[in-house]
Amino acid sequence: MISSKKIMEDVFRPVKMKLSVLTGYVDRFIESCSSKSKETQAGYKRTLKEFVIFYSTDRLFQFREKDVERYKIYLLKTKKMKDVSVASYLTSLRRLCQYLVDIKVLVHNPAKSVQGIKRVSEKSRSFLTYAEINQLLNSIRGDSIIGLRDKALVEIMIGCACSDAEISNFRVGDFQKIDKNWVLHVKNSGENTQTESITIPNETMKAITSYLKARGNNLPLEEPLFLSYSNRTFHQSMTVRGIREAINLRLKSSSILRGTTMKFTPFSLRHTAGVIMADRGVTPDNIMKRMNITWRPTVMMYYKLKDMLHGELSTKTLNET
């Protein structure tokens, strides 16, 4: 009888290559990402540079799962990176290895099952109940253009599970009415082309429509969906930082922070969206796709938390359940 250890060794058979060969593959992988944004390409180049350094000094890396685990420990212990950074560096290695599988250099991707984050960060664990969502929205007055904008921001983050990075790139023309439903076209992370369509909840669309109506008629389709009204970036697209500052301001001015032991952040709205999707019966795979989550246990925790949406346990954290 063949042992499971033997099978694993066969699957991830050692693959040796010279450093010059590896750097050549890294360069070609980055070139193959020409359809992705410049930021994504620069991220791959920066993170894989660290892998090449590790490869040259480690001298034992042979593209097995245990080699990837050793690289992960190097990032955590030697480089003293935070979990979020480790996850980013491992994602780049995972994509490189998949490229090597696609061009027949590797048989299997040894980085596929090695995860960088095993728990959600301290800042992003809390979520809002349905009552707290209403409380937050009701605290935002709709008698100003900024109030209408911020209410639409909250609605689209919770109703469509959109990230601040996605929101920053939205244009007026990203909406389309199909039959009786409004659909939002969202770019996948790092891509330059629109590849995903999301049905917009009625309340979310009402908030967006009210904001756009206040800006005037016949808005150009290429105009940013959410405008900045600060002196420095007036009428430019809101930056990720600007979106976070706006949401933080609304959270702080709402009464839902009073008496709690954990502060809510823009990440809280992101997790609220995930829990709501679980409550509505969306499948784990679809939640992972919409929210760009790679670690399945995070999504499964949303299902454990969904009953709390109807109660007052909003400060319950993801890793306490």
pLDDT at 138 over 90: yes
Q: What confidence tens digit (pLDDT) does each residue in 76-115 have? A: 999 998 887 888 899 999 999 999 999 999 999 999 888 7
Domain 122-320 coded CATH 1.10.443.10: yes
Provide long-range contacts, Cβ within 8 A and 24+ apart, for 205-210.
Answer: 207/148, 207/151, 207/152, 207/154, 207/155, 207/156, 208/152, 208/155, 208/156, 208/175, 210/142, 210/148, 210/151, 210/152
Per-residue confidence at 254, pLDDT binned at 50, 70, 90? confident
Establish whether domains 12-102 and 122-320 are of one fold: no
Q: Name the pLDDT band for 53 (thresholds 50, 70, 90).
A: very high
177: Cα within 13 Å, side-chain hemisphere: 5
Domain range 12-102, CATH architecture: Orthogonal Bundle (1.10)
pLDDT confidence of residue 8: 45
CB 226 within 8 A of CB 244: no
Q: Which residues contact 111 (CB under 8 A, 6 or more apart)?
A: 65, 68, 90, 93, 94, 97
Per-residue pLDDT tens over the stretch 180-201: 889 998 876 544 455 688 899 9
Domain positions in the chain are 12-102, 122-320
pLDDT value for 195: 66
